Amino acid sequence: MPQYVAAIDQGTTSTRCMIFDHSGRVVSVDQKEHEQIFPKAGWVEHDPMEVWTNTRQVAAGALAKADLSTGDIVAVGITNQRETSVVWDKNTGEPVYNAIVWQDTRTDKIVQELGALGGGQERYRSKVGLPLATYFSGPKIRWILDNVEGAREKAEAGDLLFGNMDTWVLWNMTGGTDGGVHVTDPTNASRTMLMDLDTLQWDSGIAADMGIPMSMLPEIRSSSEIYGNVREKGALAGVPISGILGDQQAATFGQACLSPGEAKNTYGTGNFVLLNTGTEKVMSQNGLLTTVCYKIGSDAAVYALEGSIAVTGSLVQWLRDNLGMITTASEIEEHARSVEDNGGAYFVPAFSGLFAPYWRSDARGAIVGLTRYVNKGHLARAVLEATAFQTREVIDAMNADSGVALTSLKVDGGMVVNELLMQFQADILGVPVIRPVVAETTALGAAYAAGLAVDFWKGEDDIRNNWAQDKEWDPQMDESTRESQYANWKKAVTKTFDWVED
């Protein structure tokens, strides 16, 4: 009988369960969106209980759709939106507050205060590979402990647990209050600002700086080993959970970027370019992050340079949900095709400040270059082009940091169905853009991590052999047009700086 691996993909907008066969093809998918909670400008929350309920439903749904039973599944992997932080009571299983999402900027003041202790934005970089920014988990935990009544006392008494979404899902799947496993992997831990990149352990000094009791933090294990078995009575009962990778690292793994110098870009809510740098960690001089790419069992950790862009696909959502300019995301391509170019308009979506390579929390979104000539089609183009320009900035930084120019870019994620965007991306980068057959690389990467731990896949060659190209876009734009458009973009970016004052 054929066997399969399941992956839970706990994403920013939805939770999915995907089932893969041995060749890495998708056998079935079930997916459920959860509510995006915006209590104030700059705040973004999710209800952890809703996410957990959805996780159970999609696991059952994916099995049912493929007409499979639990006995057909050899392992489960978990991948997740990174940095998003949950704090819950280990005795009741109840979160003490909603999950604070990675895009949330409420920790701005905490971040400034930590920087003011000395070293500014670079205070922890040499240990954790990250600049001080609202993006990461540590300051979010601190905010919960400072602002939720009674939370600090409970945390100090050892009653509260912290987890990113991987840990929250794992703890619940393995029994919750009845013996739930409180574990994470180094890819997720490397996004908290609390993990030492060399030892792959929590740094007690940074935790003390942020006022976070060490007892809240999960144990850091590898990305591929058996953490426990599903204790639920429902779908997947008894199946080992044996892989955890943060979503972007999972996509890198699923894209078979397994050798130093290989890179991928995922186009989802935001964009995330990761370059595998092997077992050497490269410290960025150009605004990128140094992060753990994966750690398979007892093998040495592999590191990556990462360019994180906060707003790309979510700008398309914004056009749909906040402006009502389109009714579905795919409609944007029709509008963009109604015109030849952007008509001089540039849209810098600095909704959460700017992430890589700028790390400016004082920036806010702007549309510049407007004239009476600009119409809906031009704006649709400017929206799509924003994704490609932001990617170019990150790739330029990567080329500068690594000293080697990228020769092609593997792409995946929800936006890569947009052919106009893919062509413009190749044009503005000046290198080919390549889409694989299986675009669900995030879930696939988590499935690989889980399947390797139970010998369903034997090693990295299986992953390389399963990767297959679907389509390639080659650059068609002449050099002078490319560079003048890019220069305009860079100028547009400067117009968003210094908007938020304190």
Which residue in the set 15, 174, 222, 418 belongs to the binding site for ligand ADP (CB under 6 A)? 418
Whichever of 317 and 488 has its CB closer to ligand ADP, that residue is 317
Whichever of 76 and 316 has its CB closer to ligand ADP, that residue is 316
| Residue for token pair 């080993």 | 225
Closest contact distance (angstroms) between CB of 121 and ligand ADP is: 26
Span near ligand ADP by CB under 6 A; candidates 173-181, 221-229, 408-416, 460-468: 408-416
| Residue for token pair 């092997």 | 278
Cα–Cα dist 489/314, whole Å:
19
Closest contact distance (angstroms) between CB of 135 and ligand ADP is: 15
Cα–Cα dist 70/41, whole Å:
43
Q: Does 286 bind ligand ADP (CB under 6 A)?
A: no
Residues 365-404 that bind ligand ADP (CB under 6 A): none
Closest contact distance (angstroms) between CB of 382 and ligand ADP is: 13
Which residue in the set 417, 431, 477, 500 belongs to the binding site for ligand ADP (CB under 6 A)? 417
Closest contact distance (angstroms) between CB of 211 and ligand ADP is: 31
From the list 457, 412, 460, the residue with the least C-alpha distance to 435 is: 412
Cβ atoms 225, 242 nearer than 8 A:
yes
Cα–Cα dist 467/254, whole Å:
8
The CA–CA distances, whole Å, from 45 to 100, 140, 474 equal 5, 11, 40
Cβ count within 10 A of residue 110: 19
Closest contact distance (angstroms) between CB of 72 and ligand ADP is: 26
Whichever of 415 and 438 has its CB closer to ligand ADP, that residue is 415
- Phi and psi torsions of 368, nearest 5°: -125, 165
Span near ligand ADP by CB under 6 A; candidates 52-60, 191-199, 326-334, 389-397: 326-334
Span near ligand ADP by CB under 6 A; candidates 18-26, 161-169, 210-218, 312-320: 312-320
Q: Does 415 bind ligand ADP (CB under 6 A)?
A: yes
Whichever of 12 and 167 has its CB closer to ligand ADP, that residue is 12
The CA–CA distances, whole Å, from 407 to 247, 434, 472, 485 equal 24, 11, 13, 21
Estimate to the nearest angstrom the gap between the alpha carbon of 199 and the chain centroid: 23
Cβ atoms 99, 86 nearer than 8 A:
yes
Closest contact distance (angstroms) between CB of 447 and ligand ADP is: 16
Closest contact distance (angstroms) between CB of 418 and ligand ADP is: 4
CA atoms within 13 A on the CB side of 427: 19
Which residue in the set 274, 289, 304, 316 belongs to the binding site for ligand ADP (CB under 6 A)? 316
From the list 58, 44, 49, the residue with the least C-alpha distance to 14 is: 58
Binding positions for ligand ADP, rule: CB under 6 A: 11-13, 268-269, 313-314, 316-317, 329-330, 332-333, 413-415, 417-418
